[in-house]
Structure 1
Amino acid sequence: MINSLKIINRDHIRNVELLNLSKINIFCGKNNAGKTTILNTLSGGSEKFMLGEEYSFDEVWSFFVKVNTKAREELQDEDYWSDNLLEEYYSSLYLILEEYNKPFYFIDDLLILTQQVFIENKEEGLYETIYKVIQEIIGQYDIFPYLEPDNIISIPANRFIEPRVNYSTQQNEIKPTGEGIVSKVFFMKNQLAGTPELIAYLRMKDQFKFICDGFDFDIIQNGDGTLNLMFTNPSGDWLNAEKYGLGLRDLLIILYFANSIDNSNVILIDEVETHLHPDLQRKLLHTLRESSKQFFITTHSNIFLDSTFVNKIFHVTFDNQINIVDATSRSGLLNDLGFSVSDNLTSDLIILCEGPTDKPVIEEFLYKFDLMQNYNIKIWPLGGDIMDQHDLTVFSESYKIIGLIDLDPGSGVIRQRFVDNCTDNNIPVHRLKRYAIENYFTIEALRKVFKGQISQDISTIDTTIKLEDQIGINPKKNNRKIANNMNVADIEGTD
């Protein structure tokens, strides 16, 4: 299992460290952010990235003790050598390592610190010797061994299983796209009891039936030697795979590699949710958690962004280069608050408003200005009376977000605390210039919705008085209908 890895200047990715990886590692982000590029980089082998482990201060210093002993042997005949020279440099290095005050993951972290000590003291010759010794000792001791990744299988988003194949020509060719899997699974099915192949096949069948609520698969051989992939529904009707949607075939590809008995212990899956209903996604995630393999997955699905069930969530963005940020802790907090993690990580803009009845008004107004059609804008109600109690740090980091609050002086203290909280987290806030969002409704739109319920004596809406007190009707349940009956001219020129 890969513990940590560093990608340096590869495929638009600049010096990215992915630390403390575990069983299920998720990459999410907008389309074209670079998620697939990351998987392609990982599948390219160790020449594209550096693997690491977490090492304590004591482990690192033990390593340098070995370096010290070897360096003494190398330096005895150098003109600049003195008995105290190496001790002086190692004293400086010890202090720097203590000040580093975080775990070490990659050998180049140590090389940079070592270079800092020796180059600052103008002894480049000494540094060159130490550097050479470090490289020699890396290969001789367990500390910082040369790490090779396990064999990696990369399942692309564009995957497909042919429902009919010729067994004689396909059985030895297995590809992550799905080619060869039908023949291979047929081979596994026909092995002797107790063999690893048959055990893996039976496990796949159990997982498939669990995920698909009773649907099953089988592969039969026709008289001409061709193989047919078949699916059955819970009532027991068997049909050729081509009679069903692509979701069952996509699932079979993923389950094959999750159960394969070769030495591919790291599985990359691009757009894991493709063709799968949310219920199937949830059960697939549960199944992958039980696997012995490690997974790196790209997704747009909120199912795979719940930190209760996945180990790591990375948010991917593109701004002249691919940026990867660990969003695992923020995901957990958002889930606890009841907000959608995928909204927070993939939106162009998030608007924090007071209550749920404000949301449809904002949506209708944005739609009239063609903003909802052209941008991914999410509106999250915080609850007017408790809006000052939310931890806004989970929203603010790296995402475009604004707050929108009423002018209503009745809850002025709560709103001011909310504004102060937003200011502390660099979230801009706009306070409406009217009593509440309903005070932007026109009398014409109100009459269209409430018909004759509004007195003819009312010709305009006072922007400083609660709307319900003016018209004698609580409009909130009809907020979307009212906003829908307004036009752009009604909104233009207002704040």
Structure 2
Amino acid sequence: MNIQGFGIKNFRSFDSDGIYLDGLKKINIIIGKNNCGKSNVLRFLQTLHSNLSDLNKFPNDIKNQHRRNGQSTILNLKVKGDNLPHNKDKFRRANGFDYNNFLEQFHNFDVNLNSQSINLPEQLNDLEWQQLIPFQSAYAQASAQQLLSKINESWKQSIIQKVKSTFKDLIYIPHLRVIKEGHQFGDSNSSINGSNIISKMFEMQNPEIGNENARDKFNLIQTFVRDLINKPDLEIEIPHTKEEIVLTIDGNRLPLDSFGTGIHQLVMLCSTLVIHDNSIVCIEEPEIHLHPELQRKFIKFLGKTKNIYFLTTHSNIFLDSRLNTSIYHVQNDGIKSTISHANRTTRTFSILNDLGYHSSDILQANGIIWVEGPSDRTFIIKWINLIDSTLIEGLHFSIMFYGGRLLSHISFQNEKLITDLIPLLKLNRNAYVLMDRDGFSSKTKINLTKRRIKEEIGDRNCWITKGREIENYLTEKTIQNWLEVDKVKINPDLKLEEIVSKIHKNKYNTAKTKYSKEIIKHITIEDLDILDLKLKVKQLTNRINDWNA
């Protein structure tokens, strides 16, 4: 797809102000309540594709008009100026207009699909004929109105061609899906049917000479299904009758229909997406019949294909993807639908409310790191980023505070419930705890509470600092650069407060959060080579990746 975004006006639930999907990426997820209008985005794309050969036939009936307003559907595109027909030589000689700026900017065009007319950028209407000549070289001299007419015709043809080339390869997969000989893949709007899939897979399984690459696609489908049901020796086969898909597992040959609906759906979907590569693919509710694990595997599979996707969904699993995704939140006020590009941090609660989730249903990350306070969080995020910058707080993990003495009231036991302790694993089964060793020397025994927590949660989910406190992982170089002094002596049994008070007029403990944010600016990857810091941070990032696998 060679455009960054598009808008829709006067179509079903979208009024004359319309909606715009900007920042398009490989996977574009459209989310919202039932009957809010999210499926209308996919219906528009499918209807546009079906009428590309003759856009005049784009339906303008009561069913497709916004509240029967009688107005034609409009496709809004942003096109960069240098992609529009113009005379580059005359641009260089022109004056009185900032042409270079015009060429670099994106310009909005409303394309009336029934009349195939466009609107020109308003700034062109204010130009004299001499200034318009670089946009249209058909006349040496002409009135401004004649030039504008020629520019409009030239640009209209260019933009209509762009629409056709962009949306020519598109498939629409509705929420009702069947894969049998002679049965439609979906409803009457779908161009895919069961026999198409089976026949195409048969061709990939038995490619003609010179088309051996088709076998690679077949192998990709087979590899995915093997991973899906954890059977590395699985074989997919299309018999010569081309009536069904057969799976051979543990020496048994069984038709695909013998497996559960979830596996049946995924094999069907993934086969279709491999067959139709380099396409725009619209899928209604891909999560149907798929439990969360299969949904995650399906998302990963999308990343291996060459398509651009538009998905409608009610599943929060698709919000948790680390792939190249954009999320759009559709809302309806009873008159029209609006759409917002959903930033995960600013719109999370609104989206989850629309999906019908309660706080007890889901937590905003796949695991929790428990630390004593805000300054510990500052250091942990910095260290994680140095080891694995792809991990994002709030998406792949959350950090929560237990606060010094609260630790004695916390339990990480899953089996045994102790009445006076908080069973934190009920909040999230993936938990990791960071605790200061404390004590006056490295020989001091860890107290009973910390030993209990370590036993309950296990060594791989617990980090007790090797130094006295987390600040003892700061190197002499880091402290020197922060305090702007030539020499600092670090002792793993000495509190940072005691070190700072000897050099700095302010006490560290009076503003730990503020100072920690200053300190991390001086921490580099080399500063992880102190005590067991690098080892522990790597273990922690491995655990986070396990949570998100």
TM-score bracket, shorter-length normalisation: 0.5 to 0.7
Deviations 1:98-131 (A, max 9, x none): 6x99941533497242366379xxxxx9664343
Equivalent in 295, 306, 321 of residue 309 of structure 2: 295
C-alpha separation in 1, matches of 2:89 and 2:29: 38
Q: Please list, as runs of the form range in 1=range in 2, the aligned pairs for 1:237-252 lying within 5 A after superposition.
A: 237-252=252-267
Aligned to 2:179: 161
Structure 1, residues 452-482: CA drift from partner, whole Å, max 9, x if none?
xxxxxxxxxxxxxxxxxxxxx969779x9xx
1:226 and 1:102, CA in 2 relative to 1: closer, same or farther beyond 3 A? closer
Q: Offset at 1:6?
A: 2.0
Match of 1:114 among 119, 123, 142: 123
Q: How far is 1:36 from its partner?
A: 1.7
TM-score of the two chains, using structure 2 as the length reference? 0.48
- Residues 2 and 34 (structure 1), Cα distance of their counterparts in 2 relative to 1, 3 Å cut: farther
> Aligned residue for 2:536?
none
C-alpha distance in 1, partners of 2:267/2:205?
Answer: 14
Q: Contact 2:197/2:272 (CA < 8 Å) preserved in 1?
A: no
Counterpart Cα distance in 1 of 2:226 and 2:11: 41
Closer/same/farther in 2, CA of residues 54 and 184 from structure 1, 3 Å limit: same
1:191 matched to 2:207? The reply is yes
**For each residue in 1:31-50, what CA deviation from the matched residue of structure 2 results, as whole angstroms up to 9, or x when unmatched?**
22222221010111254663
SS in 1 for 2:282: strand
Whole-angstrom CA distance in 2 between matches of 1:285 and 1:300: 14
How many equivalent pairs are there? 321
Matched, 1:7 2:8: yes
User: How does 1:238-387 map onto structure 2 within 5 Å?
Assistant: 238-260=253-275, 265-306=279-320, 308-319=322-333, 320-327=335-342, 330-331=343-344, 333=345, 344-348=350-354, 377-378=358-359
How far does residue 315 in structure 1 lie from its aligned partner after superposition?
A: 0.9
TM-fit CA distance, 1:191: 2.7
Letter matched to residue 107 of structure 1: F
3-state SS in 2 of match to 1:317? strand
In structure 1, C-alpha distance between the alignment counterparts of 2:238 and 2:202, rounded to whole Å? 6
Tell me: CA distance 1:151–1:29, structure 2 relative to 1, closer, same or farther (3 Å): same
What is residue 131 of structure 1 aligned with on the other side? 148
Aligned-partner Cα distance in 1 for 2:324–2:271: 21
Query: Which residue matches 2:511?
Result: none
**Which residue identity does 1:198 align to in structure 2?**
R
Which amino acid letter does the alignment assign opposite residue 38 of structure 2? K
Structure 2 unpaired stretches of 5+? 56-72, 111-117, 129-141, 184-189, 365-369, 379-417, 427-549
- Over 3 Å counting, the alpha-carbon distance change for 1:18 and 1:2 in structure 2 is farther
Contact 2:32 2:354 (8 Å CA) reproduced: no
Alpha-carbon separation, structure 2, partners of 1:160 and 1:230: 16
Matched letter for residue 181 of structure 1: I
Alpha-carbon offset, residue 231 of structure 1: 3.1
Please tell me the residue identity of whatever aligns with 1:117.
D
CA pair 190-381 structure 1, distance change in 2 beyond 3 A: closer
Q: Which of 40, 43, 62 is the aligned partner of 2:43?
A: 40
Choose from 215, 224, 230 the match for 1:207.
224
Counterparts of 1:133 and 1:204, CA distance in 2: 51
Is the contact between residue 202 and residue 242 of structure 2 (CA under 8 Å) also seen in structure 1?
Answer: no
Letter in structure 2 aligned against 1:239: L
Distance 2:290 2:204 in 1: 25
Deviates more, 1:33-42 or 1:10-19: 10-19
Q: Quick one: percent identity of the two aligned structures?
A: 24
Q: SS of the residue aligned with 1:44?
A: helix
**Larger RCO: Structure 1 or Structure 2 (Cα < 8 Å, ≥ 6 residues apart)?**
1
| 1: CA distance, partners of 2:88 / 2:154 | 8
- Name the aligned partner's letter for residue 318 of structure 1: N
**Residue 30 (structure 1) aligns with:** 33
Contact 2:274 2:305 in 1 (8 A): yes
Give the Cα–Cα distance (whole angstroms) in 1 for the partners of residues 76 and 169 of structure 2.
Answer: 14
State how far apart, in whole Å, the 2-side matches of 1:127 and 1:287 are. 54
CA deviation after TM superposition for structure 1 residue 249, in Å: 2.2
Preserved CA contact (<8 Å) 2:175 2:285: yes
* Alignment partners' CA distance in 2, 1:314 and 1:292: 21
1:50 lines up with 2:72 in the alignment: no
Structure 1 residues 240 and 261: CA distance shift in structure 2, 3 A: closer
Aligned: 1:180 with 2:187: no
> What CA distance in whole angstroms lies between the structure 1 residues aligned with 2:297 and 2:353?
27
Answer yes or no: is the 8 Å Cα contact 1:34–1:317 preserved in 2: yes
Whether 1:152 and 2:170 are equivalent positions in the alignment is yes
Return the alpha-carbon distance in structure 1 between the equivalents of residues 248 and 177 of structure 2: 22
CA contact (8 A) 1:348 1:377 kept: no
What is the SS of the residue equivalent to 1:147? helix
Cα distance in 2 between the residues matched to 1:346 and 1:116: 46
The amino acid that maps onto 2:314 is H
Alpha-carbon distance change, 203 to 112 in structure 1, aligned in 2, over 3 angstroms: same
Q: What RMSD in Å do the two structures reach over aligned CA positions?
A: 4.6
Classify 1:232/1:33 alpha carbon distance in 2 versus 1 (closer, same or farther; 3 Å). farther
Q: 1:105 to 1:322 in 2, by over 3 A?
A: same
Question: Helix, strand or coil for the counterpart of 2:106?
Answer: coil
Instruction: Report the CA distance shift for 1:316/1:23 in structure 2 as closer, same or farther (over 3 A).
Output: same
Instruction: Tell me the CA shift for residue 54 of structure 1.
Output: 5.2
Q: Identify the residue that residue 426 of structure 1 maps to in structure 2.
A: none
Aligned counterpart for 1:104 among listed residues 99, 103, 106: 106
Residue 292 of structure 1 deviates from its aligned partner by: 1.6
